[in-house]
Amino acid sequence: MRFRAALAIIILSAGSLAQTDKAPCPATRPVDDILADIHKQQSKRKNRNSNPLPDVTCVLGWCRNHSRTPPTVPVPAPQAEIPATTQTDSSTVSSSKDPVAQCNDAMERAIEAARDVEVGDYSIEEKNYRGALMRYQDALNWKPDDAAIHVRLGRAYEKLNDNSHAIEEYSAAQKLTGPEKWIDEAKESLKRLQGNR
């Protein structure tokens, strides 16, 4: 009982800290940071021999409740908004939503992007380049301003001998802010591919 009370306090304080005006929304963090934190949480659960599918998931201080307890008042299921194009625009998020709701929506999209990147990375390892390309494109739909996703897409296009699309992705990555390693890889790949023309 004390464990549950302590866990509830930790989750509530982590959620409130992550969603205050002072702390930026963790959805703006690179997809690699999100993946690293997800793997860290999974590793902790394995080491504690606990439920592999817990009711609450926390990523970079943002927590999501997955409990299956039905609400007391039935509400319609939310409809996911899937962008019609391959890129989403941050202006499409309703300005009428409060910052916490906007962050929650952005985190849901960032976690979906991280899942797609993880499957794409696995597909690359298995030399399933078309599968990787599709998953990276899905990830880009969820998180279009992530340089790492653009570079991964560029790699997949290169593996499929589609250098013109690879150049587009590396160019897009180079224009974004993000971890230096991804920007540097984009620059080097562009030099290499444009030197082959």
* Beta bridge mates, 64: 57
Query: What pLDDT shows up at residue 48?
Result: 59
End-to-end Cα separation, the chain, in angstroms: 67
Angle value at C-alpha 18, between 16 and 24, nearest 5 degrees? 140
Q: How confident is the model at residue 8 (pLDDT cuts 50, 70, 90)?
A: very low
pLDDT digits (tens, 9 = 90+) for 21-59: 456 788 888 889 888 888 887 777 666 555 444 444 666
Please state the rounded mean pLDDT for residues 62-73: 51
User: Which residue in the block uniquely carries the two structure tokens 């997949």?
Assistant: 156
- The per-residue pLDDT of the chain, averaged, comes to 75
What radius of gyration, in Å, describes the C-alpha atoms of the chain?
Answer: 19
pLDDT digits (tens, 9 = 90+) for 103-133: 888 888 998 999 999 999 999 999 999 999 9
**pTM of this structure:** 0.67
Q: Domain coordinates of the chain in residue numbers? A: 24-66+97-195
Query: What pLDDT shows up at residue 167?
Result: 96
pLDDT at 17 over 50: no
Q: What is the identity of the amino acid at 97?
A: K
Q: Nearest to residue 147, comparing CAs of 26, 15, 11, 32?
A: 32
Query: What pLDDT shows up at residue 72?
Result: 43
Name the CATH topology of 24-66+97-195: 1.25.40
Query: What pLDDT shows up at residue 47?
Result: 60
